[in-house]
Amino acid sequence: MTIKVPIDHEEHQTSVFDEEKKELILDGFVAPDMNTFGHSFRDYDADSERKRSVEQFYKLSHIYQTYEFVQRMRKEYGSLNRVEMSIWECCELLNEFVDESDPDLDEPQIEHLLQTAEAIRRDYPDEDWLHLTGLIHDLGKVLLHPSFGALPQWAVVGDTFPVGCRFDESNIHYKYFKDNPDFNNQKYNTEFGVYTEGCGLNNVLMSWGHDDYMYLVAKENKTTLPDAALFIIRYHSFYPLHKAGAYKYFMNEKDHEGLKWLQVFNKYDLYSKSKVRIDVEKVKPYYISLINKVNIYHS
């Protein structure tokens, strides 16, 4: 999967999106009281129909997401030589999948993408870069599709976490890490592991999945989306950091700035998971216009 756009964001050239991003304050956002199952959000102990399958998902993820596995996946998928299709085609492709790790949602993924984007658009109509980020943040889940490798869900979705260092106990279903080969490896099981304090999250390998894949897609093809958008895409599932404050010792100054934006975005990503349906055909022209601004396509 590839995103191709004409300008490299890391060179700090002028973007088609407004670089003068004002601080977003959640004064217009009202979080719902409960998720689609009638429980509080991210309640992994709630006795819902999803509880057992979600826990089994995390068991597999925590056992098989090793430092070596992530290195191998990044090398294999970093070549971006899969299938060419438009962003909107990728959105529609996700209609075939339901995220097995999510205790709050059992709707097709395109519903979640549009719910997130539309919730942001309603409260912050002038921040079109953030609207588009809401739409594409989960597109890496196409890794589930046969065209993109048909990876198992544990290698695509779910909360993300650093590999190559000690697993923090704030990770959901932490107990299953004890069966991960890296858990007792002295090279990887210390606080800093193979990293150094303040090295920057960009130098830390995260568990492999749709977040890191979509980040690679955007970065390697020189997207014009601002740095804040790339931080959101890469770390929006990194709940141990932005909910529990874990792993902050790896962060540098740039990461702290990105985290501010991520914590804003996360409220929309999480609390927009509801039974409110979006009229896809009504909003489609607007998002197509944003996609066309940066000439985005996938391959």
Of residues 142, 116, 75, 169, the one with CA closest to residue 287: 116
Collect all residues with Cβ–Cβ distance below 8 Å to 53 and sequence separation of at least 6: 100
User: Is there a binding annotation on residue 147?
Assistant: no
User: Is there a binding annotation on residue 255?
Assistant: no
3-state SS string for 277-294: CCCHHHHHHHHHHHHHHC
User: Is there a binding annotation on residue 101?
Assistant: yes
User: Is there a binding annotation on residue 256?
Assistant: no
User: Is there a binding annotation on residue 138?
Assistant: yes
User: Is there a binding annotation on residue 253?
Assistant: no
Structure tokens at 40: 């509080």
User: Is there a binding annotation on residue 242?
Assistant: no
Contact in structure between 221 and 5 (CB atoms under 8 Å): yes
User: Is there a binding annotation on residue 158?
Assistant: yes
**Residues belonging to the chain:** 299
Q: What backbone phi and psi angles, to 5 degrees, belong to 283?
A: -90, -15
Cα gap 292→286, rounded to integer Å: 10
- In the chain, the N- to C-terminal Cα span, in Å, equals 4
User: Is there a binding annotation on residue 112?
Assistant: yes
Of residues 7, 37, 24, 157, the one with CA closest to residue 97: 157
User: Is there a binding annotation on residue 15?
Assistant: no
User: Is there a binding annotation on residue 298?
Assistant: no
Contact in structure between 221 and 80 (CB atoms under 8 Å): yes
Cα gap 264→26, rounded to integer Å: 7
User: Is there a binding annotation on residue 137?
Assistant: yes
Cα gap 47→184, rounded to integer Å: 33
Handedness of CA 184, 190, 191, 197 (dihedral sign): negative
Read off the DSSP letter of residue 206: B
Annotated binding residues for substrate: 42, 99-101, 141, 158-159, 236-237
Annotated binding residues for Fe cation: 112, 137-138, 210, 236, 269
